[in-house]
Amino acid sequence: MTETTTSSSERPSLPMQGVPQPRREEVLNLPRVHISSHPVMAHKLTAMRDKNTQPPEFYRLVKEIGALLAYEATETLALERVEIETPMRPMIGQRLAGGIGVTPILRAGLGLAEGFREVIPEVQIWHLGLRRDEQTLQAMEYYNQLPHRVDLQVCYAVDPMLATGGSAIDAINVLKRRDIPRLCYLGIIAAPYGLLKLSQTHPDIDIYIAALDESLNDVGYILPGLGDAGDRQFGTL
C-alpha cells in the first residue's frame, strides 16, 4: 500500500485525496449495470470481506462467487438448435451459440475465472496482466495472451475490484481491438466512482457486480471493501 510522508514540502499527494466522488445512490440505477440481489451471494461476500478469512478460504469464496456471477451474467446468451438423440428418441435441443471468452485481469481475476469455468467448462481463457501503479492509480499492461483468431459471441473481463475503474476501462479497450460482438465486465465489489467511470466510458457493455460499496479512500482502496483482493487470494499479505 502507498507509504505517506508529511515532512517534505514535496510530499506526494494521495491520488484520491480531494477527488469528488459520486454517492452510492447516484449510480444505483445506471443503465446496463446489474447488481446481484441473491442472498447466497450476500452471505458469501460477507465471509470474504471478514478480515479473519484466510487465503485458502478467501480463494474458495472468490471461485464460488465467480460461479454465481457467471450464472447471472450468462442469462441472456444466445442459443442455437441442435439435433440429438436421447436414449428414448431423437429431439431438438439447444446449445450455446458461439464461443465464450473470459479475460481474467491478473492477478486478482484468476479466482473469478476459475469459478466461471466451473459453470461453463468450454470457455476460452484470455489472460491479460494489468497492474495498478499505487502512486498514480494508472493501470499498466504487462502481459497479454489474447489470441488473434476470434470466434466468440461474448467475452467477459473479470476482476474482483472495480475501484477507480482504470483497470477495467483499459481491459475493455484492449478487448475492443478484437472483433468480439459483445463485451461484459464482471466483478465482485465496485466503488461508485469506478462504476460511473466504466459505465460512462463504455456505455455499450453490461456490467455485473455482486455489491456496490460506499467510496474510495485517499489511496484508492474501496470502503468498506475487502482489502487487497490479489494479496488475500494468493497469501502475499
Binding residues for ligand PRP, rule: CB under 6 A, are: 105-108, 130-132, 137, 139, 159-168, 194, 220, 229-230
Interaction partner, residue 164 (ligand URA, ligand PRP, none; CB < 5-8 Å by kind): ligand PRP
C-alpha cell belonging to residue 117: 469455468
121 burial via Cβ count (<10 Å: 0-12, 13-18, 19+): exposed
DSSP 143-174: EE---S---EEEEEEE-SEESSSHHHHHHHHH
Check if 206 is active-site: no
Interaction of residue 222 with ligand URA, rule CB under 6 A: yes
The active-site residue out of 49, 107, 117, 132 is 132
> For residues 57 and 228, which CB has a smaller minimum distance to ligand URA in the complex?
228
CA distance 184 to 33: 10
Kindly state whether residue 104 participates in binding ligand URA, applying the rule CB under 6 A: no
Integer Cα distance of 208 and 187 in angstroms: 6
Helices (H) and strands (E) in the chain, counts: 7, 13
**How far apart are alpha carbons 196 and 186 in whole angstroms?**
15
Asked if 229 is part of the footprint of ligand URA (rule: CB under 6 A), the reply reads yes
- Per the DSSP assignment, residues forming a β-bridge with 138 are none
Q: Locate 105 and state its grid cell.
A: 485481469
Nearer to ligand URA, 101 or 220 (CB): 220
Backbone φ, ψ for residue 46 (5° rounding) = -65, -40
Q: With binding defined as CB under 6 A, does residue 161 bind ligand URA?
A: yes
Q: Is 163 a binder of ligand URA (CB under 6 A)?
A: yes
4 is catalytic: no
Whole-number minimum distance, CB 100 to ligand PRP, in Å?
21
Name the residue whose CB lies closest to ligand PRP.
Answer: 230
- Catalytic, 213? Answer no
For residue 225, state whether it binds ligand URA (rule: CB under 6 A). yes
Distance of CA 148 to the CA centre of its chain: 23
Nearer to ligand PRP, 138 or 153 (CB): 138
Nearer to ligand PRP, 64 or 159 (CB): 159
231 has catalytic annotation = yes
- Give the residue numbers marked as catalytic: 132, 136, 228, 231
Instruction: Write out the residues near ligand URA by the rule CB under 6 A.
Output: 108, 161, 163, 221-222, 225, 228-230
